[in-house]
């Protein structure tokens, strides 16, 4: 394979790299005054990178043609699906950011910093590399690029103690997770003598020895940190609550997609022959995430913390799809990810619209009492989003659970599915509490601020996707997800 073809395959990454570096220079000389044009250009770059994915996404890409740089990178349908989702989520998070940073919500540091869009671009680039990694080195490079950018993003409000705390916590625990992951990778390298996925896989055939088994467990644990699955979820509520809300919206969508996609790829492409070794671990993690995510959310007053637990809960459902270890399960995971990203983005955009007159953000239950009377549009949108997150039909959130559980039952894990779905009822409790507070309680009447058009457009777009209209998307979504999942299972 010549370099030209390799470069062609990573076109979108090249575009993002170039855009990121140029905009960094612009930021260095232009200062914070240039923040807005930089953000617009960053969005344009993401759109451009997204468009480059369309043809391959449509026709499907798999097999040896998708390998670049001698197997370091693999740009198959699976990677393309995840990348498209990541870019879309990042665009949405960039669009809602300026109004937040320009308002009182940003505390004493008014105004968006010029580095913010640049950091987002680099984070996205890191994720883009993560999802197309076909070698542990590529994987780690992408992961760290993403993580380092994310740590800074969490702490971007330097004078806000909560933001700084979130950044620090994220960094310390993220570094720990990276260490665990690296240790696992080094063990695998030591026992198999390779770092690229196919050679590790072929060296792991047959009975798994203790050494590589430890490697496997450490790698999975490190990745479980990144996707915030129980028992490695402790950082999530604090980071989500402390980070500025647009950053939280970003954390709960794009990196989650990247990390889940990465985990899936590692599970199937590296440990595909050792399903028995990791299936029980993933099953336990999935169930524990569903239960603890739901239980943890029940007592929360802070809405961002609540959504953090909700994301843990959702990761549990996504992992159900991984636990069944079939093509259908992988496809169901991707469909779930798409719908989850829409729901999560919608919820955070709605939270960003809970403003006071001066633009300060409200983020507790007591502030949204009776929102249905004072701000009916936001309240109804949140109602749809919450019922959708709870998985109540006819909203699209039901469909995401539908595909996951269908895959689980078809794989024969019926008791497992029954326990998981019964646990999902616990989760319904706090979602309907959201509705109760907004619709049944007397109005608090504090949410009076106006929100920009971009917020409304995004909110209505996400609500339209998760509304019953979204079911019309399901045939094409299923088609794309099936192609992506099939690409993952083509034997290397």
Partner 1 sequence: MEGFPILSIMMLVPLLGAIVSLFAGTASRMIALAATLVTFVLGCLLWANYEIGGAQWQFTERAEIFAGFSYALGIDGIALMLIMLSVFLMPICILASWTSVTKRVGEYMAAFLFMETLMIGTFAAQDLFLFYVFFEAGLIPMYLIIGVWGGDNRIYASYKFFLYTLLGSVLMLIAMFWMVAEAGTSDIPTLMQYDFPAGAQTWLWLAFFASFAVKVPMWPFHTWLPDAHVQAPTAGSVILAGVLLKLGGYGFVRFSLPMFPEASADFAWFVFILSMIAVVYTSLVALVQQDMKKLIAYSSVAHMAIVTVGLFAFNVQGLEGAMIVMLSHGLVSGALFLCVGVIYDRLHTREIERYGGLSINMPYYALFFLLFTMASIGLPGTSGFVGEFLSLAGIYQTSTLVALICTTGIILGAAYMLYLYRRVAFGDQKNEDAASMADISAREWVMMAPIAAVVLWMGVYPESFLAPMRADIAALDARIASAAPPSDSALVVGTPRDEIANAVECEGDHGATETGEGGDH
Residues in the site for partner 1, rule: CB under 8 A?
372-373, 387, 392-394, 398-399, 402-403, 405-406, 408-410, 414, 417-418, 421-422, 424-425, 428-429, 432, 435-436, 439-440, 471-472, 474-475, 477-479
For residue 364, the cross-strand partners are 302
Q: Which is nearer to partner 1, 139 or 463 (CB)?
A: 463
Least distance in angstroms from the C-beta of 291 to partner 1: 15
Return the half-sphere exposure (C-beta side, CA atoms, 13 A cut-off) of residue 341. 27
Q: How crowded is residue 446: how many other Cβ atoms within 10 Å of its Cβ?
A: 18
Least distance in angstroms from the C-beta of 406 to partner 1: 5
Contact 188, 212 (CB under 8 A): yes
Q: Which is nearer to partner 1, 109 or 410 (CB)?
A: 410
CA nearest 235: which of 284, 166, 144? 166
Q: Which is nearer to partner 1, 248 or 424 (CB)?
A: 424
Beta-sheet strands, E only, within 105-193: none
- What is d(CA 130, CA 69) in angstroms, rounded to the nearest whole number? 15
Least distance in angstroms from the C-beta of 402 to partner 1: 6
122 burial class (0-12, 13-18, 19+ CB within 10 angstroms)? buried
Backbone φ/ψ region at 342: left (φ over 0), alpha (ψ -120 to 50), beta: alpha
Q: Which is nearer to partner 1, 198 or 474 (CB)?
A: 474
Q: Which is nearer to partner 1, 392 or 454 (CB)?
A: 392
Least distance in angstroms from the C-beta of 419 to partner 1: 10
Least distance in angstroms from the C-beta of 281 to partner 1: 23
Q: Which is nearer to partner 1, 169 or 369 (CB)?
A: 369
Q: Which is nearer to partner 1, 31 or 376 (CB)?
A: 376
Q: Which is nearer to partner 1, 33 or 436 (CB)?
A: 436
Residue corresponding to tokens 């740590």: 151
Buried b / exposed e along 312-336 (16+ C-beta atoms within 10 A): bbbbbbbbbbbbbbbebbbbbbbbb
Least distance in angstroms from the C-beta of 233 to partner 1: 24
Contact 93, 249 (CB under 8 A): yes
Least distance in angstroms from the C-beta of 422 to partner 1: 6
DSSP state of 361: B
For residue 133, the cross-strand partners are 73
Whether omega before 394 lies within 30 degrees of 0, making that bond cis, reads yes
Least distance in angstroms from the C-beta of 218 to partner 1: 34
- What is d(CA 486, CA 326) in angstroms, rounded to the nearest whole number? 10
Give me 104's structure tokens.
Answer: 């009182």
């Amino acid at each position: 394979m010549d370099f030209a073809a390799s470069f062609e395959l990573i076109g979108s990454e090249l575009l993002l790299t170039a855009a990121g570096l140029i905009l960094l220079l612009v930021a260095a000389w232009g200062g914070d005054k240039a923040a807005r044009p930089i953000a617009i250009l960053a969005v344009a770059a993401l759109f451009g990178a997204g468009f480059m994915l369309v043809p391959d996404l449509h026709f499907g890409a798999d097999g040896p043609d998708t390998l670049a740089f001698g197997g370091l990178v693999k740009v198959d349908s699976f990677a393309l699906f995840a990348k498209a989702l990541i870019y879309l989520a990042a665009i949405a998070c960039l669009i809602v950011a300026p109004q937040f940073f320009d308002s009182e919500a940003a505390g004493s540091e008014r105004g968006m910093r010029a580095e913010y869009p640049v950091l987002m671009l680099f984070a996205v680039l890191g994720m883009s590399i993560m999802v197309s990694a076909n070698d542990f080195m590529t994987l780690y490079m992408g992961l760290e690029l993403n993580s380092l950018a994310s740590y800074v993003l969490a702490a971007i409000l330097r004078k806000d103690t909560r933001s700084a705390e979130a950044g620090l916590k994220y960094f310390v625990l993220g570094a720990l997770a990276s260490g665990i992951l690296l240790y696992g990778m080094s063990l695998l390298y030591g026992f198999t003598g390779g770092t690229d996925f196919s050679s590790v896989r072929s060296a792991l055939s047959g009975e798994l020895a203790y050494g590589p088994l430890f490697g496997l467990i450490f790698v999975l644990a490190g990745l479980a940190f990144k996707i915030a699955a129980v028992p490695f979820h402790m950082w999530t509520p604090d980071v989500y609550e402390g980070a500025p809300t647009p950053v939280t919206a970003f954390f709960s969508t794009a990196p989650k997609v990247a990390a889940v996609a990465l985990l899936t790829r590692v599970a199937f492409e590296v440990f595909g022959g050792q399903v028995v070794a990791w299936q029980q671990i993933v099953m336990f993690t999935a169930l524990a995430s569903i239960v603890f995510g739901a239980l943890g959310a029940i007592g929360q007053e802070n809405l961002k913390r609540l959504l953090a637990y909700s994301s843990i809960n959702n990761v549990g459902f996504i992992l159900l799809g991984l636990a069944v270890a079939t093509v259908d399960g992988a496809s169901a995971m991707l469909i779930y990810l798409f719908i989850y990203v829409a729901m999560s983005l919608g919820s955070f955009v709605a939270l960003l619209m809970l403003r006071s007159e001066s633009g300060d953000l409200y983020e507790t239950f007591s502030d949204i009492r009776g929102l249905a009377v004072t701000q009916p549009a936001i309240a109804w949108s949140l109602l749809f989003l919450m019922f959708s997150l709870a998985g109540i039909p006819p909203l699209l959130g039901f469909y995401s659970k539908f595909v996951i559980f269908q895959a689980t039952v078809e794989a024969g894990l019926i008791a497992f599915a029954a326990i998981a779905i019964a646990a999902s009822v616990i989760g319904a409790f706090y979602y309907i509490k959201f509705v109760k507070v907004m619709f049944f309680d007397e109005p608090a009447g504090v949410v009076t601020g106006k929100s920009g058009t971009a917020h409304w457009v995004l909110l209505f777009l996400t609500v339209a996707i998760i509304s019953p209209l979204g079911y019309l998307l399901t045939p094409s979504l299923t088609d794309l997800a099936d192609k992506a999942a099939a690409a993952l299972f083509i034997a290397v």
